[in-house]
């Protein structure tokens, strides 16, 4: 009986497994391909098809730099150098590291990430989903949008993700966030679009963000926010959190802004040039909107106009309220700035403007801010508090680039060596230097001359974020 039972079980096993001579690989069933979801029922089943399509193009970004220790002041003394050698300046210190995410948006190896992921870094490597690590060079940094474009240095055809249309998004749309949170490895989280056109967030100059409750954590920065067709509709950039972890309030840069930055990088540009309005805008308070007879405080009030700027040329006036750009609503100055920034140069946009209780259409020429006078960049090297700072002359282009409001005189701080005296004294990019030791500064050469000689003290007047500050620093 036992023998017969064993024979019966063996026969069943042969029937179940097939012929004994079958190769081992035939025992592994091929994985069934799933189509992208086209209905709510499909979505409820699984997000796996979207993830499978999107994740090969999502990368991890590793950026490093070697810190330079500040030079020892004793090495300025030639007798000290004679006894102790010449090695006291700029010694190599610990390595600073940054970790974030990115997404390949072109098969040639163009990667979009956040500028803050690579800010101040010199060496960048990208880890692909198949675990390959490839060096990357930085093609373009755009601090104004907190975006950067990298180029993988190995020639190949890379998996890429298609760019969608962020203007087509609606609140409630399902989205996925893909990245490398806390460095644990590629991770996918799911949520919805919680809000659109979020402004006053304080992340970048163009505050016009997609808000989502998909979990976004440190390390997700630069990774894509993906729609249900597997397309990029935003670049995850920041979270609102008191603990440092996700609480369901994350912000992504709309992909329509990303397209402009990518196009500039492809064109070989080192910076992104955008249309210039040539006007100072301010938010509408309830009092102002009531005085203008508006139903609600929505729009951007023109407070001032730049001479010979596009706004003045178009016939706009102080007191006009811009409420739309090419038919898309603009509830505040950030919205106007975003709408114009996503337009290509050379054409025109139609502004919806409220004037004297009526709405009129005003055509605006889309041109870049002029760079007149020339920047004439100077890196200050003298024995002064400005040593290590690079300054440029004021022009509409410079004011636009560094988001400086209302400055007509002085020079603008464009760059600061992180190990310099200027950095130690907390000089900041975008500061406008107005007066040094009672000498008015009109050009970069004025500042260069004013800082040649050493002084016992330095009396400095500068403008920062609209406020004029005067301080005295020891020499």
Domain residue ranges of the chain, discontinuous segments joined by +: 55-152, 166-266, 279-365, 378-474
Using an 8 Å Cβ cutoff, are 195 and 183 in contact?
no
Q: Which of 98, 127, 215, 221 is catalytic?
A: 221
- The tokens 């025109």 sit on which residue? 348
Fold of 55-152: Thrombin, subunit H (2.40.10)
- Assign 326 a pLDDT band (cuts: 50, 70, 90): very high
70: its two tokens? 């500040």
User: For the chain, what is the mean pLDDT?
Assistant: 83
Using an 8 Å Cβ cutoff, are 406 and 412 in contact?
no
Question: Could you please report the per-residue DSSP string of 75-121?
Answer: GGSHHHHHHH-STTSS-EEEEEEEEEEEEEEETTTEEEEEHHHHTT-
Residue 88 has pLDDT above 50, yes or no: no
Cα–Cα nearest to 401, from 390, 412, 409: 412
**Catalytic residue list contains 167:** no
Task: Check residue 42 and give its pLDDT.
Answer: 61
Average pLDDT on 223-233 reads 95
Share of the chain above pLDDT 70, in %: 80
Contacts of 64 (CB under 8 A, 6+ apart): 95, 96, 97, 98, 121, 122, 123
- Assign 77 a pLDDT band (cuts: 50, 70, 90): very low
Buried b / exposed e over 404-436, threshold 16 CB at 10 Å, is beebeebbbbbebeebbbbbebebeebbbbbbb
Whether 55-152 and 166-266 share one fold: the answer is yes
Q: Which of 116, 246, 289, 332 is catalytic?
A: 116
Task: Check residue 114 and give its pLDDT.
Answer: 94
pLDDT digits (tens, 9 = 90+) for 394-408: 999 998 888 887 778
- The tokens 């990774």 sit on which residue? 223
Question: Could you give the 3-state DSSP secondary structure of residue 162?
Answer: coil
- Assign 44 a pLDDT band (cuts: 50, 70, 90): low
Fold of 378-474: Pdz3 Domain (2.30.42)
Instruction: Check the annotation: does 180 bind a ligand.
Output: no
What pTM was computed for the model? Answer: 0.76
Task: Check residue 243 and give its pLDDT.
Answer: 57
* 3.40.50.150, 3.20.20.210, 2.30.42.10, 3.90.25.10: CATH of 279-365: 2.30.42.10
Instruction: Check the annotation: does 146 bind a ligand.
Output: yes
Among 28-32, 43-47, 238-242, 408-412, the range scoring the smallest mean pLDDT is: 28-32
- Assign 415 a pLDDT band (cuts: 50, 70, 90): very high
- Give the span between the Cα atoms of 21 and 162, in whole angstroms: 46
* Secondary-structure class of domain 166-266 per CATH: mainly beta
pLDDT digits (tens, 9 = 90+) for 124-170: 999 998 889 999 999 999 988 999 999 999 999 999 999 999 999 99
**Catalytic residue list contains 146:** yes
Average pLDDT on 361-386 reads 93
Residue 423 has pLDDT above 60, yes or no: yes
Task: Check residue 123 and give its pLDDT.
Answer: 87
Q: Which of 142, 146, 213, 332 is catalytic?
A: 146
Average pLDDT on 294-317 reads 91
Using an 8 Å Cβ cutoff, are 425 and 406 in contact?
no
Instruction: Check the annotation: does 116 bind a ligand.
Output: yes
What is the phi-psi region of residue 438: left when phi exceeds 0, alpha when psi lies from -120 to 50, beta otherwise? left
Task: Check residue 103 and give its pLDDT.
Answer: 96
pLDDT digits (tens, 9 = 90+) for 247-299: 678 899 999 999 999 999 998 888 898 999 999 899 888 888 888 878 788 89
Cα 268 from chain centre: 18
Return phi, psi of residue 357, to 5°: 80, 0
Share of the chain above pLDDT 90, in %: 51
**Catalytic residue list contains 384:** no
- Assign 28 a pLDDT band (cuts: 50, 70, 90): very low
Residue ranges in 270-420 assigned as alpha helix (H): 286-291, 310-313, 333-341, 396-401
pLDDT digits (tens, 9 = 90+) for 186-203: 889 999 999 987 776 655
Average pLDDT on 166-188 reads 89
Instruction: Check the annotation: does 220 bind a ligand.
Output: yes
Average pLDDT on 215-231 reads 91
């Amino acid at each position: 009986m036992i023998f017969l039972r064993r024979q019966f079980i063996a026969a069943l096993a042969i029937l179940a497994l097939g012929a004994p001579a079958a190769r081992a690989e035939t025992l592994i069933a091929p994985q069934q391909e799933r189509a992208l979801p086209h209905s709510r029922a499909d979505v409820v089943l699984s997000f796996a098809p979207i993830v499978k399509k999107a994740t090969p193009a999502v990368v991890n970004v590793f950026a490093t730099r070697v810190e330079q220790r500040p030079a020892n002041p004793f090495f300025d003394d030639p007798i000290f150098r004679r006894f102790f050698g010449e090695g006291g300046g700029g010694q190599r210190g610990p390595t600073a590291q940054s970790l974030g995410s990115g997404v390949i948006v072109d098969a040639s190896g163009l990667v979009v990430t956040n500028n803050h992921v690579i800010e101040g870094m010199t060496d960048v490597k990208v880890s692909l989903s198949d675990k390959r690590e490839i060096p990357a060079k930085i093609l373009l940094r755009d601090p104004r949008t907190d975006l950067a474009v990298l180029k993988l240095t190995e020639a190949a055809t890379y998996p890429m993700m298609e760019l969608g249309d962020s203007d087509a998004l609606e609140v409630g749309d399902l989205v996925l966030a893909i990245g490398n949170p806390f460095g644990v490895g590629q991770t996918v989280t799911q949520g919805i679009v919680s809000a659109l056109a979020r402004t006053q967030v304080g992340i970048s100059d163009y505050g016009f963000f997609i808000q989502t409750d998909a979990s976004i954590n440190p390390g997700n920065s630069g990774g894509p926010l993906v729609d249900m067709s597997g397309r990029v509709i935003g670049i995850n950039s920041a979270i609102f959190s008191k603990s440092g972890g996700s609480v369901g309030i994350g912000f992504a840069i709309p992909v329509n802004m990303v397209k402009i930055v990518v196009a500039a990088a492809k064109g070989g540009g080192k910076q992104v040039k955008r249309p210039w309005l040539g006007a100072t805008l301010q938010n509408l308070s309830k009092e102002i909107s009531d005085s203008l007879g508006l139903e609600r405080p929505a729009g951007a009030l023109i407070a001032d106009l730049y001479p010979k700027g596009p706004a003045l040329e178009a016939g706009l006036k102080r007191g006009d309220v811009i409420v739309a750009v090419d038919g898309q609503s603009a509830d505040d100055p950030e919205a106007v700035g975003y709408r114009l920034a996503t337009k290509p140069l050379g054409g025109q946009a139609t502004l919806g403007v409220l004037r004297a209780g009526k709405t009129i259409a005003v055509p605006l020429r889309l041109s870049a801010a002029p760079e007149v006078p020339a920047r004439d960049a100077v890196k200050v090297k003298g024995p002064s508090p400005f040593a290590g700072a690079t300054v440029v002359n004021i022009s509409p282009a410079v004011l636009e680039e560094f988001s400086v409001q209302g400055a007509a005189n002085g020079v603008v701080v464009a760059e600061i060596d992180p190990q310099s005296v200027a950095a130690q004294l907390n000089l900041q990019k975008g500061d406008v230097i107005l007066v040094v030791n009672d000498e008015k500064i009109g050009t970069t050469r004025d500042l260069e001359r004013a800082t040649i000689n050493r002084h016992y003290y330095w009396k400095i007047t500068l403008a920062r974020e609209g406020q004029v500050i005067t301080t005295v620093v020891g020499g």
